[in-house]
Amino acid sequence: MRYALIAILALLALLIIAPPLLGTGWQYALINALIAALFAAAFNLLVGQGGMLSFGHAAYFGVGAFTVIHLMQSVEYGDIPFPTVLLPLAGAAVSLLCGALAGFFATMRSGVYFALVTLALAELLHSLAPHWDEMFGGEAGLSSMRMPSLGFTFGSTLEVYYLTLSWVVICIGLLYAYTRTPFGRLTLALRDNEQRIRFMGFNAHGTKIVVFAISAMFSGVAGSLMAISNETANYSVFSTQVSALVVLHTFVGGSTIFFGPIVGACVLSLFTFVVSGVTHSWMLYQGIIFVLVMLFAPKGIGGVIQAHIEQRHALPWKRLAAPYALATLAGLMVACATVFVVQSLEIVLSREYAAAVARTGEYAPYTVFAREWQVFHPFTWLFPVLLLVPGLYLLRRAFARIKALWDKDDDDDNGDVPAATQQLMEGGR
């Protein structure tokens, strides 16, 4: 716990010190990453701790956003004197009420039926919002301006960043404190065995409603911060894409670990910011990452980190250094081959390239990795094969060596049952 606290304080110090040294684009990207982290942490309260997978959590994210936009308009027009720094409280309150109401009906069912009910509720808002101009502003949405509050103008991205950081730290701290309470333990028990909870005399349905409402409340805070940052909101915040994105962030980070979804949200948000400015195929790369994590680390990035932390005193780090380095090199080779093929096909199959061929009658060279490549030259398509095949072979050799070292360590500690490899692959128990 001491080392974890030191790491958290160091990260927090970095988040406070670094942004003024960055450009506006990176400051805005960090704001989006923080909002995504809070949204994922709130969603994980429902799915990771409560065992209830929602496909429509964008509904409460959007409710919080529109609540704050309406309140910002009232403040802007002088109708209500309300401090900007406390605007997320309004979004939290309305999302809590909506979450309690929706949760009452959704939690009457479990499993896939619960997921479908949540999806239907979100789609109801998504289809209603474009046609309800007074409440949601139609297809154009609503907009307002951040007003000065408590000595801050909130005219700069940096001030908005620190406001977002403050709210995210407070909310994540409250969510973590929730997990340490008796009701938080009851939430975990509800996930593991709902029938046993009923036999013990607890109201399982009421418990699920409370968990659902609390998750919706913190999702509303995330939506409120998004509205404050963008100064606008439209019906797209209710879309299935927003709901699917938080699911992606949660499972890539690891839903069984508290900080896992936070890690996944930050990593993928910053990955999107960097890669989307370079290629139109960034969603394909995001999907590849998700598939690879689900196949080889089902408990996510956070689970892999936790497995190493738990085994840090027993693992033969000196002997693991070489296979880990080899696996990194081989992974880069496979990644480069994949990127080369995807980018080549993106360029060659694009409308612009087809128009250029029709205009000139020639297949012009294209540029990938700062080098020109000829479409019909054999080496152009041999190059990714020369990277991919050796890369996959080296990956297999490296993982076999890593597996052997983890199994040997587990055999030394626990007898003949090699459970450490399973822990590594699952990303933590």
Each residue's pLDDT, cut to its tens digit, for the chain (429 residues) gives 677 788 889 999 999 999 999 999 999 999 999 999 999 999 999 999 999 999 999 999 999 999 999 999 998 887 788 899 999 999 999 999 999 999 999 999 988 999 999 999 999 999 999 988 889 988 888 999 888 888 888 888 999 999 999 999 999 999 999 999 999 999 998 888 888 888 888 889 999 999 999 999 999 999 999 999 999 999 999 999 999 999 999 999 998 889 999 999 999 999 999 999 888 999 999 999 999 999 988 889 988 988 888 888 888 888 999 999 999 999 999 999 999 999 999 999 999 999 999 998 888 999 999 899 999 999 999 999 999 999 999 999 999 999 888 887 555 555 444 444 455 445 543
Q: What is the pTM of this model?
A: 0.90
Q: Return d(Cα 422, Cα 348) in angstroms, integer.
A: 42
Sequence-separated (6 or more) residues with CB below 8 Å from residue 129 = 62, 135, 136, 234, 235, 238
Distances from the Cα of 207 to the Cα of 41, 135, 171, 177, 233, angstroms: 19, 31, 21, 17, 32
- Beta strands 232-233; 366-368: pairing state: unpaired
Q: Return d(Cα 195, Cα 183) in angstroms, integer.
A: 17
Q: Return d(Cα 421, Cα 191) in angstroms, integer.
A: 26
Sequence-separated (6 or more) residues with CB below 8 Å from residue 395 = 327, 330, 331, 334
Q: Where are the beta strands (DSSP E) in 178-297?
A: 232-233
